[in-house]
Chains A and B, each alone.
Chain A
C-alpha cells in the first residue's frame, strides 16, 4: 500500500517532520498490521492513537458489549453505544478518526484453538486484556508464532507496561516473554479485576498510551523498546520504576498454549467420600479442615478444624503439613481454592479436597456428621 502523499502529508504532517518518522516511517506505519486484543480501558487509547498515527491495518478482538460502567475509562464509546458490540462501536469510531485504514473485527474470545490463526496475519500483538488466562495465552501464542507482544496491565492506581518476545537483530534472539516475568498467575483468591478492585479511568488511558508508543517505536524501528524492561508505575505518588526482565533459562515451557502451570491442580487432589470415610474409620493420620464460614460449620460438619477460606493463609500456622490435610466445604469449590492457596506456600504438602463437599459425603454417610478428626 503506497502513501497518498497529498492526503498523508496533510494528515500526518506533524509526525512526518520528525526525523524518526519521515516519509519512510509513515509508509512503514501504513504497511503495518497490529492486532489489539481487548477493546476496553487499555484497548481504547491504543486503537485511537494507532489509527491517528496511520497504522494501515488494525485488528480488534473483543466479545463484550458496551456497558454504561465502561464509559468512565473506555474512551472510544459514548452513551449511544451502550448495548452494542464493542468491536462494532470501536470500528465505527476508529474509522471516523481515520477512514483510510482497514479495521478487522473479531467478536470472539481467544482460546487455544483459534489463537494462532487469529494472530497469524498481524505483525504486532497488543495485550489489552483484563484477565490472566488470556494474557498467558497471548504470550504463549506470541512465542509460538514469533510475534512481539506489547503488554500492559493495571490495578487501581498502578500499571505495568513491557514489550515481550521482541526480536533483537543484534543478538538474533527474542527477548523475554511474560512467563519469564511471572511464571504463573496468582491463585484466584489473590486476583482482582477492575470490576472487583476498582480503577480510576485515567490509569488505563495512561498505560494504553505507553502501549501505543511502544507499538509505534517497533514499527518505526526507533528508540529503545521496552524489551527486557518493565515500566512499573504508581500514579498515586508518581513513582516510576524501570526494571530489567531477563529470560528465565530454568523455566519449563508451558505444556500447552495458555496453560496455568502452578499452583497446579491435579485430578488426584479430589478425595472421594468413600476414601475419606476409609481414612476416618481407620484413624489414618490426617488433618480435616472445614473452610466454610462458622455458621455453616455449626449447622453441620464433619468435625476437624474450622478455618474459613478467607483466613486460610493468615492462619497457615494451624495447618499440620506433616500429615495429610483434607479440606472440605459445602460442594468442593471453596476447598479446591483453599488447596491451591496452601499449595502455593507448601508445594510439597499432601493436600486433598473433598469431592462434592460435605453435601455429597453426608448423602453417602448420613450418620457421620459428628465424626471428629484431630
Chain B
C-alpha cells in the first residue's frame, strides 16, 4: 500500500486528508485510485489524463517522477508518494 502525502494547499481537494493510503502496483495505478477517491484533485493538481500539472511535483521515495517510464515502474510495498506545489510566499 503506497502512502501519498499532500501539501496543505491540496487538502481542500482531499477531504482535508494530509496523507492517504492507496493501492497500486505502479504510480499510474496509485494515481488512478487516488483520483477515484478524490476526484477534485483533477483540475487543480492533475490533468484529465492524470499527469501532474506543470506547477506540481510528484516524487516516489524522494525521486522525481518525470517520464512515462517512471510512472509505470513497479512500486515497493511501502512506497511514499509525495506531492508538492509551487508556492511563492516570502
> Which residues from chain A sit less than 8 Å from chain B, CB to CB?
38, 40-43, 128-132, 135, 152-160, 181-186, 190-194, 197, 199, 204, 230, 232, 234, 236-237, 239, 241-246, 248, 262, 313-314, 316, 344-347
| CB pair B89 A197 closer than 8 Å | yes
| CB pair B62 A242 closer than 8 Å | yes
| CB pair A131 B18 closer than 8 Å | no
CB distance from A131 to the nearest CB of B (A): 5
Q: Which residue of A153, A185, A234, A316 is within 8 Å of B43 (Cβ)?
A: A316
Tell me the complex Cα distance, A363–B5, Å.
51
Q: Which residue of B43, B55, B64 is within 8 Å of A245 (Cβ)?
A: B64
| CB pair B48 A246 closer than 8 Å | no
Tell me the complex Cα distance, A281–B48, Å.
33
Q: Which residue of A130, A156, A184 is within 8 Å of B90 (Cβ)?
A: A130
> Which residues from chain B sit less than 8 Å from chain A, CB to CB?
5, 7-9, 18, 40, 42-44, 47-48, 53-57, 59, 62-64, 66, 82, 84-90
Tell me the complex Cα distance, A181–B85, Å.
10
| CB pair B89 A194 closer than 8 Å | yes
* Chain A residues with CB below 8 A from B9, complex form: 155-156, 158
Q: Which residue of B42, B66, B84 is within 8 Å of A160 (Cβ)?
A: B84
Tell me the complex Cα distance, A194–B84, Å.
18
User: Assuming the A-B contacts A38-B90, A313-B43, are A232 and B53 also in contact, with contact meaning beta carbons closer than 8 angstroms in the complex?
Assistant: no
| CB pair A243 B90 closer than 8 Å | no
| CB pair B90 A185 closer than 8 Å | no
Q: Which residue of B7, B18, B48, B54 is within 8 Å of A183 (Cβ)?
A: B54
**Closest partner residue, chain A, to B42 (CB atom):** A345
| CB pair B88 A135 closer than 8 Å | yes
| CB pair A230 B84 closer than 8 Å | yes
Tell me the complex Cα distance, A373–B59, Å.
44
* Chain B residues with CB below 8 A from A38, complex form: 90
Tell me the complex Cα distance, A246–B88, Å.
21
* Chain B residues with CB below 8 A from A197, complex form: 89
| CB pair A199 B89 closer than 8 Å | yes
| CB pair B90 A234 closer than 8 Å | no
**Closest partner residue, chain A, to B88 (CB atom):** A132
* Chain A residues with CB below 8 A from B64, complex form: 243-246
| CB pair B62 A237 closer than 8 Å | no
**Closest partner residue, chain A, to B55 (CB atom):** A186
| CB pair B44 A190 closer than 8 Å | yes
Closest 7 A/B residue pairs (Cβ): A130-B90, A313-B43, A155-B87, A182-B86, A183-B54, A186-B55, A154-B89
**Contact sample, A vs B, 21 pairs, CB 8 Å cutoff:** A38-B90, A129-B90, A135-B88, A153-B89, A156-B89, A160-B87, A181-B86, A182-B86, A186-B86, A190-B44, A197-B89, A204-B89, A204-B90, A237-B18, A241-B84, A243-B62, A243-B82, A262-B54, A313-B43, A314-B40, A344-B53
Q: Which residue of B43, B62, B66 is within 8 Å of A314 (Cβ)?
A: B43
User: Assuming the A-B contacts A243-B57, A243-B62, are A158 and B8 also in contact, with contact meaning beta carbons closer than 8 angstroms in the complex?
Assistant: yes
CB distance from A301 to the nearest CB of B (A): 25
Tell me the complex Cα distance, A42–B90, Å.
5
* Chain B residues with CB below 8 A from A314, complex form: 40, 43
User: Assuming the A-B contacts A153-B89, A193-B89, are A241 and B57 also in contact, with contact meaning beta carbons closer than 8 angstroms in the complex?
Assistant: no
* Chain A residues with CB below 8 A from B62, complex form: 241-244
User: Assuming the A-B contacts A184-B54, A232-B82, A344-B53, are A246 and B66 also in contact, with contact meaning beta carbons closer than 8 angstroms in the complex?
Assistant: yes
CB distance from B11 to the nearest CB of A (A): 11
Tell me the complex Cα distance, A332–B67, Å.
37
| CB pair B44 A184 closer than 8 Å | no
* Chain A residues with CB below 8 A from B5, complex form: 239, 241
